[in-house]
Structure 1
Amino acid sequence: MYTFLVTFHLMGIVKKNSLREYWSTEPMFATPFFATLFSQDRFLALLRCLHFVNNATAILSDPLHKIRNVLISLTSAFGLVFVPYKDLCIDESLMLWNGRLAFRQYIPSKRHRFGVKFFVMCDVKTGFVQDIIVYTGSTTDIKHYEGLGVSGSVVMTMLAPHLGKGHTLYVDNWYSSPTLFQHLLSKSTGGCGTVRSNRKGMPAFGCRKMRRGEVEFKENAQQLALKWLDKRDVHVLSTVHTATVSATGKVDHLTGERKIKPDYVLDYNLKMGAVDKADMINSFVECARKMTKWYKKIFFHLIDTAVLNGSIVHRQLTGEMITEQGIFVIGCTVHIQIHYAIIVTISHPPTHCLIIV
């Protein structure tokens, strides 16, 4: 099974239009290495039979019952193998899926727009994916907190193991609210994020017209809110920053003046992109291909995430900088070949088969 998974990851590096092309004997397109791992028929049979639950004992009311065991195992492992640094961020990720699915989502701002939505918590410094929750609508696996709504409950569910440890959370305006940040503050956890101006508890800002680059601060209990005019009004809320501004290093070409931004806008922009960065890295070597079954697509998406986390842990332990995710995947392939696979050559390359021991 290890070799089966690694074969899929190699397919993420060597891109082809269909699975059968990896066993093509055409000189222009041939990749004979894949035939030394599996015969085509054996590989496709394993993929077709891939299943993660006993249907006789599955909880059919759970929308994720076909993948729940794998999801629990992997997310539990993520939390055990890595202790995050101070800064964490939570954001949404979308896995492409155009087929029928009750909890398929449409997010126009994402690259794929249609697909399965994940709530993802990342360590800002390393990009390690700390936790994942699959969004399934009203049945999403979160603990509901009174007064915090769905978005606040998502945050509290994911942060639960890390509360009281001095972390700072960065989120966007779907999650941020004075109520949530005050609740986090009571758990010794800071918060920073863009926020909707009409959130309950937000201080009122003046109605005067502001010039571009101008900023207005309002203090609300232990929270600091700002209104800053960029291309449009930007509202930010923080419990860990002060009312200061800094030069960005850029110059306004019209006025010749140095551009300045509030410090916690600079900090937010720097630290909020960890989830998008993880998506970007995975997109280069993702093994999740076009599937007829949604749960198989989620499975391979989770495996991609596990490999990304593995490369981050490897870098943290060894100090070795792996500049490309594909190089790490190839290293894993060599290791698994040595330890888990016995390659048996039959009369000709396309029919080589693999015995997994």
Structure 2
Amino acid sequence: MSKERCDFLLQCLHFDDKTFRLQRQKDDPFTPIRDIWELFMVQCRQNYVPGTNVTIDEQLLAFRGRCKFRMYIPNKPAKYGVKLEIMCDSGTRYMLDCMPYLGKGTYTSGLSLGEYFVKELYTRSIHGTNGNITMDNWFTSVPFAKQLLRQPYKLTIVGTLQTNKREIPDELKNHRTSNGTRRVNTSMFVYDGPITLLSYKPKPSKMVYMLSSCDEEASVNPETKKPRLIEFYNKTKGGVDTFDQMCSIMSCSRKTNCLPICVFNGMMNIACINSYIIYCHNASVQGQKRMNCRTMAENPTGNLYHADAYQE
């Protein structure tokens, strides 16, 4: 296929009916690719049973074209793009669910954005499983942690907490007292029923606040002087970051000013990584030698994917 032929086909590629697009875009700016996106998310949820721990974080899909909800995040490599809120399995990095952040166009039914994404969208597939969610301070709050412990959610959380939260007592902050400031590598715990609030001081001018609804021991590692809660958070928080890195290493994305094509390329990256994770599990169960991603890309006709997807 020539380059001109490929470009022509990409220009003609659409994922919805253009006749009703303008009418539907008033309520949903993600309309041009919403239908195929929802079908893809259903398949991701149905073909995998998550483990005990999942991670929720953000991914920036690089895009510099015209878009109402395009985000600028300076600490990301792409800086400009579509922000995706992703839930991954902390152990295998499998992408369980994903939702684009539509900016002001996001209808949250009166909930905060973090609470809306976690409660109403991501965790529906794991409600009632008594699983744990690791998240950053954009989602975490004390009232939200208490709500997730009840029916129908029955979920625990571990996450960092913003320093300006009203729920943090003054005794946990880095105030100067008559005896001076707190020593480095000291930890303080506060309990509110099943909720544990941790204040840890790793440096003289830095305080780390952690919230957990599944840690009642308040233990500290005698070797590292770090609380076990922080070690657990560091162990499980990297699910989405590792998944994002895997997508960037073997990516099929191309430069485009068309938002549906950009999102479709991102879906292809997600599908490749999820398929590879399922393949690795099936290969290990059957005692076969696993192939790496590059070998799979060079041998697309090999018998790499089995119908018995990871189910427990």
TM-score, length-normalised on structure 1?
0.75
Asked if the contact 2:95/2:274 (under 8 Å) is kept, the reply is yes
Quote how far apart the aligned CAs of 1:178 are: 0.5
Asked if the contact 1:192/1:238 (under 8 Å) is kept, the reply is yes
Give the aligned residue type for 1:92. Answer: E
Whole-Å separation in 1 of the counterparts to 2:119 and 2:298: 38
Match of 2:157 in 1: 191
Which residue of 76, 81, 93 maps to 1:110? 76
Whole-Å separation in 2 of the counterparts to 1:102 and 1:321: 46
Cα 1:321–1:180, aligned 2, differ >3 Å: closer, same or farther? farther
Quote how far apart the aligned CAs of 1:123 are: 0.6
Which residue of 185, 192, 196 maps to 1:220? 192
Q: Report the secondary structure of 2:85's partner residue.
A: strand
Q: Report the secondary structure of 1:130's partner residue.
A: strand
Match of 1:334 in 2: 301
Match of 1:325 in 2: 293
Match of 1:244 in 2: 219
Whole-Å separation in 1 of the counterparts to 2:202 and 2:295: 41
Quote how far apart the aligned CAs of 1:162 are: 1.0
Cα 1:44–1:128, aligned 2, differ >3 Å: closer, same or farther? same
Cα 1:111–1:211, aligned 2, differ >3 Å: closer, same or farther? farther
Per-residue CA shift, 1:162-208, capped at 9, x if unaligned? 11111100000110000111011113211100011332434443434
Identical columns (%): 26
Match of 1:235 in 2: 209
Cα 1:335–1:56, aligned 2, differ >3 Å: closer, same or farther? farther
Whole-Å separation in 2 of the counterparts to 1:123 and 1:76: 16
Asked if the contact 1:215/1:226 (under 8 Å) is kept, the reply is yes
Asked if the contact 2:159/2:210 (under 8 Å) is kept, the reply is yes
Cα 1:202–1:222, aligned 2, differ >3 Å: closer, same or farther? farther
Match of 2:92 in 1: 126
Give the aligned residue type for 1:178. Answer: V
Write out aligned runs for 1:9-48 (5 A): 38-48=1-11
Whole-Å separation in 2 of the counterparts to 1:114 and 1:304: 18
Asked if the contact 1:281/1:325 (under 8 Å) is kept, the reply is no
Which residue of 153, 159, 165 maps to 2:129? 165
CA RMSD of aligned residues (A): 1.9
Asked if the contact 2:55/2:133 (under 8 Å) is kept, the reply is yes
Asked if the contact 1:78/1:129 (under 8 Å) is kept, the reply is yes
Runs (5+) with no aligned partner, structure 2: 304-312
Runs (5+) with no aligned partner, structure 1: 1-37, 248-257, 337-357
Give the aligned residue type for 2:295. Answer: I
Match of 1:211 in 2: 183
Quote how far apart the aligned CAs of 1:45 are: 2.3
Match of 1:138 in 2: 104
Asked if the contact 2:194/2:214 (under 8 Å) is kept, the reply is no
Whole-Å separation in 2 of the counterparts to 1:127 and 1:72: 20
Asked if the contact 1:179/1:201 (under 8 Å) is kept, the reply is no
